[in-house]
Amino acid sequence: VNSDNLPEPLGSALPAEEFLQDLASTLEPHGFDDDNTLVALSTCRDEMTQRFTQEVDRRFGPPFSHGGLAGLPSGGSTAWVACLSHVPDDGRGKLLAVGLAHVGLEADGSTGSYHRPWMRDSAPTCGALGVVLGSWDDPDPQEPVSDHELHVLRAEMAALGGRPPDMLAATMVAADVILGRLVSQISAQDPWDRMDVAVVSGIQVHTMAGVGSGDRFLATGGGLLDADGLHPLWGTPGG
């Protein structure tokens, strides 16, 4: 049990400022600093994730936004070409890609929904993961082209295994999907001659302590990325 009463495996999640400081401290020995680093941010479209963008701005400057439903990077190669072309180029630039799934925590300690103070009832959070879990066994849902983000989310979660038993488990799977997509999409751009790249995935937890102010963040995977692949700095082996 911790001061925020976060259920495992979220127990060591940190407030935004401390989480970002942790990332900066881990990357500082590798030459990343506030002036040479562009953040590529991939968080869910949910309004509950948006205050974190302001925290990233305060710490590293404004981030390039990649996030689609559930936090999956959704802009494709065009977004990455643009983003990578904006990395500071006075010397060897640094790209820090941060991708977060998110989950609501209720007053009773249950996860997967959140009571927004401006609403009468709680709502599934992340809502996109709720849709995927709720229709997991349906015959091909045939999402229309306009719903392509949900279609990709469903397909990539299914590719990692069977239906997660609950929203928290689905959130962990989504964080893994996000990490895999960040690694493969950035690697496809072959930016190694121009910049150093770090990738981190994790989970944003919305707590009853307050919208935005109560958010806690946990890194679940990631590290330095180069032509040889990912060199882990975050996450536990096999976890």
Residue numbers at the binding site for Zn ion (CB under 5 A): 44, 46, 126
Is the Cβ of residue 36 or residue 42 nearer to Zn ion in the bound state? 42
Peptide bond between residue 9 and the one before it cis (omega within 30 degrees of 0): yes
DSSP 8-state symbol, 146: G
CA distance 197 to 231: 11
CA distance 178 to 175: 5
Nearest distance from C-beta of residue 170 to Zn ion, angstroms:
11
- β-pairing, 93-104 vs 195-206, is parallel
Distances (CA, A) of 48 to 45, 89, 178: 8, 33, 18
Is the Cβ of residue 46 or residue 156 nearer to Zn ion in the bound state? 46
Is the Cβ of residue 26 or residue 43 nearer to Zn ion in the bound state? 43
Six token digits for residue 207:
């707590």
Nearest distance from C-beta of residue 127 to Zn ion, angstroms:
5
Is the Cβ of residue 37 or residue 74 nearer to Zn ion in the bound state? 74
What is the arrangement of strands in the sheet containing 93-104, beginning at the earlier edge strand? Answer: 64-65, 37-42, 93-104, 195-206, 216-226, 229-234
CA distance 180 to 199: 10
Nearest distance from C-beta of residue 102 to Zn ion, angstroms:
6
Nearest distance from C-beta of residue 74 to Zn ion, angstroms:
12
Nearest distance from C-beta of residue 46 to Zn ion, angstroms:
4
Is the Cβ of residue 44 or residue 150 nearer to Zn ion in the bound state? 44
Is the Cβ of residue 170 or residue 198 nearer to Zn ion in the bound state? 170
Residue 238 burial (C-beta neighbours within 10 Å; 0-12, 13-18, 19+)? exposed
Residues 6+ apart with CB under 8 A from 80: 66, 185, 186, 188, 189
Nearest distance from C-beta of residue 139 to Zn ion, angstroms:
25
Nearest distance from C-beta of residue 101 to Zn ion, angstroms:
8
Is the Cβ of residue 27 or residue 174 nearer to Zn ion in the bound state? 174
CA distance 10 to 185: 27
